[in-house]
Amino acid sequence: MISVDPIKAFSDNYIWCLSNPEGEAWVVDPGDAAPVEEHLRQRDLTLQGVLITHHHFDHVGGVASLTKQRDIRVVGPQTATPEINEPVADGDRITLLGSEFDVIAVPGHTLDHIAYYGNTLLFCGDTLFAGGCGRLFEGTPEQMHASLARISSLPGATRVYCAHEYTQANLAFAAAVEPDNTALQTRIQKVEQLRQQGLPTVPSQLADELATNPFLRADQPSVRDSAEEYASIRLSDDIGVFAEVRRWKDNF
């Protein structure tokens, strides 16, 4: 049985800590080592490994420090950081804490971006966010749309562990795209309550993302209509709709 806990880092990053009852732990995207060391100490956990989703500094910045005094596994895209000692790519399967995780290539935010899926848990870094998706720093709208489609095909009960607390701002944008989406209105209220109590809004359920996240809904007439209105042109396909919604959010 794996438990997953958030470690807060920087202003809005979550470093996810997976642990088992034996006190063995893995962390995902440790951009900063200090809060990870503090968490391990407080919970009396032994770090066994690190999962990396992509090369951005706020995801790999703490790896060198964490591996300095420890001989541990560092799993990720080959080029993400020099400390990677177990490079993985799409289609690979890894075992950690007794559970299997599939590696899924999800280029778009960066070209090296991968996600880890297993045990109904998805660690997707900066690809899918609660209510949103990552910016396209390196990839094309086609690539990101395809990556999000792969994530969308996972079971609806999948718990989505993204790397940032961006949910409120994302859902405010989603409401501009789909003002008549009642599932979205319900979700906005739930998220407001969580944030008022200072609680994380992550993980979310993939089924909720499919019902409310405009970046997974380019095939919906309501999203297409709004995207066409924003762009002032007719859009020929879902990728075009996705690209305009992403451009709209970048300027929102």
Q: Is 145 a catalytic residue?
A: no
Measured from the CB atom, the residue of 24 and 138 that comes closer to Zn ion is 138
- CB 139 → Zn ion: shortest distance, Å? 12
**Per-residue binder mask for Zn ion (CB under 5 A), 174-213, x = binder:** ----------------------------------------
Phi, psi (degrees; rounded to nearest 5) at 76 = 175, -175
Sheet holding 114-118, edge to edge: 93-96, 99-105, 114-118, 121-125, 159-162, 204-205
250 flagged as catalytic: no
What are the distances in angstroms from CA 59 to CA 77, 90, 207?
A: 12, 19, 26
Question: Please, which residue, 126 or 244, has the CB nearer to Zn ion?
Answer: 126
Catalytic residue among 29, 32, 39, 54: 54
Question: According to CB under 5 A, which one of 32, 112, 126, 208 is a site residue for Zn ion?
Answer: 126
Nearest to 51 by CA among 107, 12, 99: 99
Q: Which two tokens stand for residue 30?
A: 């440790």
Task: Identify the active-site residue in 55, 109, 113, 145.
Answer: 109
Q: Within positions 150 to 179, which residues make up the interface with Zn ion, using CB under 5 A?
A: none
CB 206 within 8 A of CB 152: yes
136-155 footprint of Zn ion as x/- string (CB under 5 A): --------------------
CB 217 within 8 A of CB 149: no
Stretch that binds Zn ion, among 50-58, 78-86, 138-146, 220-228 (CB under 5 A): 50-58
- 3-class DSSP assignment, residue 192: helix
Q: Which of 15, 27, 29, 56 binds Zn ion (CB under 5 A)?
A: 56
User: Rounded to an integer, what distance in angstroms lies between the CA atom of residue 206 and that of residue 130?
Assistant: 9
Q: Which residues pair with 73 in a beta bridge?
A: 49
Number of residues that bind Zn ion (CB under 5 A): 2
What are the catalytic residues? 54, 56, 58-59, 109, 126, 164
| Binding residues for Zn ion (CB under 5 A) | 56, 126
